[in-house]
Amino acid sequence: MIALAVNDISQFSYDDQVISVVVKFRSKDLVYLEILNQQEDMHLPPQAATIFLNWQWESTLWRQAAVIERIDQGPSPLIIASTQGDPQAIENRRNRRYRLRIPVYIPQGPLKLKKIATETEDISVDGLRCLVPISFKEDSRIDFTLQLPNRSVKISGIVIRCQPASAADIFEMAVRLSPEGHDYHKLRSYLEAQS
């Protein structure tokens, strides 16, 4: 069974809005969710409301019910919710994975002057896979640039897997993309145009 873990990105719908959150803390039946991209006109669910958290793991979309225990207001509002039952795998045909070779540049070093140059093995609106010459720590945040045909986009995400590939000194890395910022929407538009 796959459960939401710290640093996982999830979404839920409420009042005709899709609200993106990141898991800040997780215990057996309790999850602390920090709201990403808080907006002034955002309507948050009331205490005791049931929400359905959705997140991507590998190529599967997962869904789990949670009941709002409380919302701590602040610069980054925090939702504390109790999870209900086990996560359920649901079909995810709308998030198609594309076998596109898009150049990827990952800044390295203390001043970010060096760059790892690679390309995607496949990509979706939720994540990508690529081969890299060094191992990245799982659950670490990564910032990189994708070179689309007419523009470059700066994207961030969380490393969900980085393991040795068949070739020596090469690692296969899977990254879950963060749905934040203007560049993410450019990437999403580009991918949706590939259908």
For domain 9-90, is the CATH number 2.40.10.220?
yes
Which pLDDT score is estimated for 92? Answer: 46
Which pLDDT score is estimated for 93? Answer: 44
CA angle centred on 162, ends 63 and 9, rounded to 5°: 30
Instruction: To the nearest 10°, report the CA torsion of 146, 148, 154, 155.
Output: -60
Question: What's the rounded Cα separation, in Å, for the pair 73 and 70?
Answer: 10
Which pLDDT score is estimated for 1? Answer: 52
Which pLDDT score is estimated for 167? Answer: 67
* Other Cβ atoms within 10 Å of 121 Cβ, number: 18
Residue limits of CATH 2.40.10.220 in the chain: 9-90, 103-192
Question: Phi/psi of residue 133, each to 5°?
Answer: -85, -5
For domain 103-192, is the CATH number 1.20.210.10?
no
Question: What's the rounded Cα separation, in Å, for the pair 161 and 159?
Answer: 6
Which pLDDT score is estimated for 195? Answer: 65
Residue type, 65: A
Question: What's the rounded Cα separation, in Å, for the pair 162 and 156?
Answer: 16
Where the chain has pLDDT below 70, the residues are: 1, 58-59, 90-95, 167, 195
Q: What confidence tens digit (pLDDT) does each residue in 146-180 have?
A: 999 989 999 999 998 888 877 678 899 999 998 87
Confidence (pTM): 0.53
